[in-house]
Structure 1
Amino acid sequence: MSENIVQPAVGSKQPGWKYWLKTARLFTLVATVSPLLVGTAIAGYERTFHPLIFLTTFVSCLFLQIGTNYFNEYFDYAYGLDHEGSLGASTVIFRNEMSAGQVLGGAIGCFVIAALLGILLVFLVGPEILLFGLTGLLIAYFYSARPFKLASRGLGDIMVYIAMGLLMTWGAYYVQIQHWSWQAFAASIPVGFLIMAIMNMNNVRDYQDDLAVNKKTLPVRFGLKFGKRYHATLLMGSYVATALFVLVGLLPITSLIVLVTFPLAFSNVRSVLQATDRKAFMLGIKRTAMLNLQFGVVLTLGILLATLITGRI
């Protein structure tokens, strides 16, 4: 299929709020919530917590991800990667529920809000926050957009880890305490694995569509069976990584409370490995997103529990 940009659809009426929310893909926002909670909890473990900085960071990152989802919707439409029957698209443009211009405008607006809040963080924390913000914005935009089209080149998974695993977890820590933290880095790995699993599950679901337009995600490059096994590795790897980091002392022993979520992960893996219907993979995306949130919340509680036990607060 040609990659020539198709002409944006024209729509005169303003879309209702439900279409804005549909295109924002709210269920994916847990990928922002988990790393921010965990990174902030580690800062709390070191007896530092600034509520205004946390709130500003939280809202800025949410708008960054929503803007990314809008850009993804727009560019997949504009480059001819989606169609009206695509399971991965919100299809608001194809159904004339929103025009391409409105989706693009929403993306730009969200990025502007995220950037303005980032500027506020510069005043609250320091100019080095610009590096975090600029890196996040560039990855978010070029995830779908030319000339890099990171997702189409099979680089989406590693970019998602860098932006949402490492930068958000360590960044949430850094805005509270301005130095490097091996603990925050360690925590970013299991959290990042689960965020990557959401992305991979999305790619497994879209395998046939992506193959047809030569969008070289990892499942397209290595096969559907690989994608399913990769999903299992990411989910199981998040628990293995947590246990290893507890063993070497980078995470408090109370972090092992995340094991209460393991039955959900095991059930998730089993259903994905046995799935053959694309709609089963759609369910897998939502279940993985919820597992990511549950894992992140429980890990946060485990770190806070260690903070209480050690008398740090």
Structure 2
Amino acid sequence: MAQDFSNSTSQLKVHSDKESKMKIWYRQLRPHTLTASFVPVFIGTVLAMFYTPLNWLLVLAMLIASMLIQAATNLFNEYYDFKRGLDTSESIGIGGGIVRDGISPRTILAVGVAFFIAAILLGAYISASTTWWIAVIGTLCMAAGYYYTGGPYPIAYTPFGEIVAGFFMGFVIILISFYIQTGLITLNSMLISVPVSTLIGAILMANNIRDLEGDQERGRRTLAILLGHKRAVQFLGAMFAFSIAWILSMIVVGKASIYLLLILLSIPKAIQAVKLFHGERTPENMMPAMKATAQMHTVFGFALGVGLIISYLIQF
């Protein structure tokens, strides 16, 4: 009986260790941010429904490839910030796999590269099914993900991080998702991409507001640093307002259905994010504001997609 108890205890410990490792790796992927890659694929795919029956294998391949690229970008971020001495065990808002959980930097880098390779294979399938120009554009997206924190001149250290992230993760991903289904790029698909891209940039802006003081000490020149805390928060609020006003304008001029008014459901999260940032200076206290910003993007994106689906169904 004692032996049985010992075996059971050992099995429980092994199970607990496995579960702990899974949680650690789950945290490295920063899953709460992955809606930034899911939403653009969702929007581009829903827009395609108006033109053609969907190829669901292409939808799935595009979705997984986009999420892999973002997850890889997160891991490269972890690796290079550690290598440059930016991350410590006290750092807020990081996966912490290296500085807190003891994962070797080489392992973090290797997993990021493996994710890129998997995305390339999926991209090859998408390209073979559509056009090899997709491979060229996909390569540019991956390069932007890598050089966001990698290379001698990381994009994240400049005032252009929000623009680059919004363009490649929002505008480009929406149009690729739309094109691989329809073989078209339309004015409406580009117009719809603009507010989603802006809100992806807003997520980066929120991150840079939180890290403003630490980034400034380490020589970064992000847009948040150039603006200062108060103006950066105001700029974030303007990004929220612009995204909502853009869709409202499209509705008014007849370029979008009235059902897209569902995006107004995201306003409370936008207000919450701005309020939570005001008067705060410590990274810990600004985490709820960052979370509200990401939630605003998610609510806006899903509401936009649902509004488009209702518009599509109402035709029949």
Same fold (TM over 0.5): yes
Q: Partners in 2 of 1:215 and 1:54 — Cα distance? A: 38
**Aligned to 2:313, which of 301, 308, 311?**
308
- Which residue of structure 2 aligns with residue 56 of structure 1? 61
Classify the secondary structure of the residue corresponding to 1:175: helix
- Which residue of structure 1 aligns with residue 149 of structure 2? 144
Deviating more after overlay: 192-201 vs 86-95: 86-95
Q: Which gives a bigger RCO, structure 1 or 2 (Cα 8 Å, sep 6+)?
A: 1
- Which residue of structure 1 aligns with residue 162 of structure 2? 157
Instruction: Give unmatched runs, 5+ long, in structure 1.
Output: 1-12
Instruction: Give unmatched runs, 5+ long, in structure 2.
Output: 1-16
CA contact (8 A) 1:205 1:281 kept: yes
Offset at 1:77?
0.7
Q: Kindly indicate whether residue 230 of structure 2 is the aligned counterpart of residue 242 of structure 1.
A: no
- Which residue of structure 2 aligns with residue 289 of structure 1? 294
- Which residue of structure 2 aligns with residue 107 of structure 1? 112
**Aligned to 1:192, which of 172, 192, 197?**
197
Q: Partners in 2 of 1:229 and 1:271 — Cα distance? A: 12
Alignment map for 1:177-188 (pairs within 5 Å): 177-188=182-193
Query: Do the aligned partners of residues 269 and 222 (structure 1) sit closer, same or farther apart at CA in structure 2, a change above 3 Å counting?
Result: closer
Offset at 1:263?
2.4
Query: Do the aligned partners of residues 225 and 253 (structure 1) sit closer, same or farther apart at CA in structure 2, a change above 3 Å counting?
Result: same
Offset at 1:276?
4.0
Deviating more after overlay: 274-283 vs 153-162: 274-283
Deviating more after overlay: 104-113 vs 17-26: 17-26
Amino acid at match of 2:292: R
Deviating more after overlay: 256-265 vs 27-36: 256-265
Q: Partners in 1 of 2:228 and 2:269 — Cα distance? A: 26
CA RMSD of aligned residues (A): 1.7
Which runs of at least 4 in structure 1 moved beyond 3 Å after TM superposition? Answer: 274-277
CA contact (8 A) 1:44 1:307 kept: yes
Offset at 1:199?
0.7
CA contact (8 A) 1:76 1:144 kept: yes
CA contact (8 A) 1:122 1:128 kept: yes
Offset at 1:153?
1.5
Alignment map for 1:1-313 (pairs within 5 Å): 16-311=21-316
Q: Partners in 1 of 2:286 and 2:24 — Cα distance? A: 23
CA contact (8 A) 2:52 2:181 kept: no
CA contact (8 A) 2:273 2:292 kept: yes
Rg (Cα) greater in structure: 2
Amino acid at match of 1:79: R
Q: State how many pairs are aligned.
A: 299
Deviating more after overlay: 291-300 vs 249-258: 249-258
Q: Structure 2 length as normaliser, TM-score?
A: 0.90
Classify the secondary structure of the residue corresponding to 2:131: coil
Deviating more after overlay: 156-165 vs 271-280: 271-280
Q: Partners in 2 of 1:119 and 1:77 — Cα distance? A: 32
The percentage of aligned residue pairs carrying the same residue is 27
Q: Partners in 1 of 2:118 and 2:28 — Cα distance? A: 17
CA contact (8 A) 1:70 1:103 kept: yes
Amino acid at match of 1:85: E
Q: Partners in 1 of 2:153 and 2:176 — Cα distance? A: 25
Q: Partners in 2 of 1:88 and 1:282 — Cα distance? A: 8
Q: Partners in 2 of 1:186 and 1:48 — Cα distance? A: 22
Classify the secondary structure of the residue corresponding to 1:179: coil
Offset at 1:95?
2.4
- Which residue of structure 2 aligns with residue 10 of structure 1? none
Classify the secondary structure of the residue corresponding to 2:44: helix
Q: Partners in 2 of 1:271 and 1:283 — Cα distance? A: 7
Offset at 1:266?
2.1
CA contact (8 A) 1:198 1:285 kept: yes
Offset at 1:258?
1.1
